Amino acid sequence: MQPLFEAYSFIFGLLIGSFLNVVILRLPVGKNLVSDRSCCPKCQAKLRWYHNIPVVSFLMLRGKCAFCQSPISWRYPLIELLTGLVSLWLFPAELSSLSLGFYLFYFAIACVFICHFFIDLDHHLLLDKLNIYLLVLILPFAVLNFYWMHWLLGGLFGFGVPLLITWLFYKIKGQVGLGGGDIKLFGLLGLLLGPTGVFFTIFLSCMVGAIVGMTLILTKKLNKDRPMAFGPAIILVASFQIFLPQFAHIVESWFF
């Protein structure tokens, strides 16, 4: 039965990924997520149900709109496939109500991460709405964890340290370094990862951000008027810590 359940979890992930595409497109511009049927962004033709099958429709249509033939972004099938694979990766090897609960908890966090990642890339925004979803997910989990010093200190540290750095940066250079969304996200991650975990998130995401920023400057792909989005670096590092803890612990041990 296990392979069958795993196949279901992959298909479930693909379908949720299709919904995440809608969220990424519509949430930042305030459009309704469920009422309107999807349409082609070029010719505005309403899509039929068979144009909306995750990954399959993109391949069948050879990446082009069925009505106006304008190219469809490869990002849609990529996000669907990514969500499907994340669901499969997180699916428990042994089924119980507890393991399924953990699966749903971590999968929901992964879904918010995927939305944060791409919305921040497109709009330079880590939306409060998504941060509130994260808070609603993480806070009960953290409180049930009983080891309250862990999450309380983590939250204070995750929120306080980036806030302090931003304040100092502003005092010295007169520029705002980190956005409010970045600071809130660090605070939320602190609730989940604890003080040492979130210290690592802050440290490593700054390193990843610096490496990516430098690469973009060297390849002349960074627009000087529009600073680089920092959210994707935070999301990448936090995903590494949360979803691949066995590897993250190895990297953490290099530094501590």
Residues at the contact surface with Zn ion, assessed by CB under 5 A: 40, 42-43, 65, 67-68
Q: Closer CB to Zn ion, residue 72 or residue 161?
A: 72
53: buried, middle or exposed (CB in 10 Å: 19+, 13-18, 0-12)?
middle
CB 59 to Zn ion: min, Å: 17
Amino acid in position 238: A
Q: Closer CB to Zn ion, residue 45 or residue 207?
A: 45
Token code pair at residue 93: 């090897």
Q: List residues bridging with 71 in a β-sheet.
A: 64
Long-range CB pairs of 42-48 (<8 Å, 24+ gap) are: 42/68, 42/70, 43/67, 43/68, 43/70
Q: Closer CB to Zn ion, residue 43 or residue 136?
A: 43
- The answer to whether the beta carbons of residues 166 and 177 sit under 8 Å apart is yes
Q: Closer CB to Zn ion, residue 64 or residue 249?
A: 64
CA dihedral 130, 131, 135, 138 (to 10 degrees): 80
Closest CA to 192 of 140, 244, 240, 256: 140
Distance CA 120, CA 178 (A): 13
CB 73 to Zn ion: min, Å: 12
CB 74 to Zn ion: min, Å: 16
Phi, psi for residue 167 in degrees, rounded to 5: -65, -45
CB 36 to Zn ion: min, Å: 16
Q: Closer CB to Zn ion, residue 68 or residue 211?
A: 68
CA 60 to chain centroid = 28
CB 121 to Zn ion: min, Å: 23
Token code pair at residue 211: 């490496």
Closest CA to 83 of 113, 53, 52: 113
User: How many Cβ atoms are within 10 Å of 48's Cβ, its own excluded?
Assistant: 12
- The answer to whether the beta carbons of residues 61 and 52 sit under 8 Å apart is no
Q: Closer CB to Zn ion, residue 40 or residue 163?
A: 40
CB 46 to Zn ion: min, Å: 10
CB 61 to Zn ion: min, Å: 10
Q: Closer CB to Zn ion, residue 65 or residue 183?
A: 65
